[in-house]
Amino acid sequence: MHDFNYKHNNLYCESVSIEELAGKYGTPLYVYSRNTLISHYRKIKEAFSAINPLICFSMKANSNFSICKALVKEGAGLDIVSGGELYRALKTGVASKKIVYAGVGKTEKEIEIAIRHHIFFFNVESIPELELINKVAARLGIQQKVAIRINPDVKASTHKYITTGHGENKFGIDFETARKIFLERNRYKNLSISGIHMHIGSQIVEAGPFIRAMERVVDFIRDLESHGAGVRWLNIGGGLGIIYSEERPQTAKEYAKAVLPVLKKAKANIIMEPGRFIAGNAGVLVTKVQYIKETPRKKFAIVDAGMNDLIRPNLYGAYHEILPVKSCSYSNSEEIKIFDVVGPICESGDFLGKDRKFIGLKEGDLLSVMGAGAYGFSMSSNYNSRPRVSEVMVDGSKVKLIRSRETYEDLIRTEL
Ligand code: PLP
């Protein structure tokens, strides 16, 4: 599943000890395993080899330049949602014909830059957006490919903040409106409306919701075809869940086995946008215990990483396993204590884990917050004026600093 393992009670990333990394680069620190990252990309590629899809890594999961570049080198395209992500994407050297652009609020400026760079597809989320892309493309004299993002109105069994394909969500366009767009697509003179896009949510651990959504979309494509409006590309989004705790998510192979029969009926080229599946288990957040605080009600391990470094527990009540970097080989039950692992931020919601068992945990110990490679650093902030942390990538026994720690100067650099 990943390359973070204990050797003689010390946690390693591939061949490098986490303790050594923390000593050299300080804490908090994001540590990524290149092998875990690439092997998860390959798992999807192999599972879907029968249809050879374009796999666009969803940059929002982890937009670090070195992470994206490593995947681009493997052949991945990139799924972006902003002008900033487009800027980063182009810096990786990815072919612009492998960039797809989703998001409900693209600005005219962002649209113009993306068209000028000849990106592959805009995944369009509303009629006003469609009109605007057509207008900008006309001004630039460019014919732009677009896919209509369908909201298939299915419930995905995941946290309500990360479901995106239900009728009440802000994403995508309902079938009826999409049908009208396709049947009148000649109205949009500078657009080639040739794709359908869907993304029903994230951290979905079972095939059911994907199949239900894809069946609806494929029926829709066949209906359009029978009315002379062929669809050449089908983008099935991302959403594949990973193991954080007790989940038993489908593997890439199981997912492919479940959805391939449906997808083949679409007779379209397939695009995918996985993020979490590729990067999630490839990264950990290493943090140091600053204080052990005992109150009459609770024990707290106060660590140097906070919700500004990893917001998922606060935002979604997400569970991340928290492991000691040096594990104890004995388990004297008297030494087992239960802690809330909390950060230094001035919010009671600033926690990384609640009611976690540790053996002999003490001040100065290092902890590793697992499964932090996706929506970890990319969602981090400077809240409480905390500089954002360093990131390193391990490749076998080699280590590369891929982002240096911000300084206090960085905090005020753009303020006037
Ligand atoms: N595509 C779109 C349009 C998304 O909004 C997201 C995530 O929110 C993704 C792909 C990636 O999802 P995941 O990381 O669950 O694979």
Query: Among 13, 56, 68, 346, which one carries the catalytic annotation?
Result: 346
Mutate which of 44, 56, 58, 315 to test ligand 1's pocket (most atoms within 8 Å of Cβ)?
Answer: 58
| Average pLDDT estimate for 377-382 | 98
Give tens-digit pLDDT for 294-348: 999 999 999 999 999 999 999 999 999 999 999 876 666 667 999 999 999 999 9
DSSP secondary structure of 88-115: HHHHTT--GGGEEE--TT--HHHHHHHH
| pLDDT in the model for residue 399 | 98
Minimum mean pLDDT range among 31-35, 157-161, 334-338, 371-375: 157-161
* Confidence class for position 370, pLDDT limits 50, 70, 90: very high
Does ligand 1 have an atom closer than 6 angstroms to the CB of 249? Answer: no
Burial class (CB in 10 A: 0-12, 13-18, 19+), 248: exposed
- Domain-wise residue ranges, the chain: 4-32+280-411, 34-277
CATH, domain range 4-32+280-411: 2.40.37.10
| pLDDT in the model for residue 130 | 98
Residue 158 has pLDDT above 80, yes or no: no
Check if 328 is active-site.
no
Give tens-digit pLDDT for 86-145: 999 999 999 999 999 999 999 999 999 999 999 999 999 999 999 999 999 999 999 999
Neighbours of 285 (CB within 10 A): 28
Q: Which residue has the tokens 């767009």?
A: 181
| Average pLDDT estimate for 43-62 | 98
Q: In angstroms, rounded to a whole number, what is the distance separating the alpha carbons of residues 57 and 64?
A: 12
Percent with pLDDT over 90 in the chain:
92
* Superfamily of segment(s) 34-277: Alanine racemase (3.20.20.10)
pTM for the model stands at: 0.96
| Average pLDDT estimate for 161-169 | 76
DSSP helix/strand/coil, 255: helix
Give tens-digit pLDDT for 174-201: 999 999 999 999 999 999 999 999 999 9
Does ligand 1 have an atom closer than 6 angstroms to the CB of 78? Answer: no
| pLDDT in the model for residue 334 | 64
Does ligand 1 have an atom closer than 6 angstroms to the CB of 275? Answer: yes
Give tens-digit pLDDT for 270-302: 999 999 999 999 999 999 999 999 999 999 999
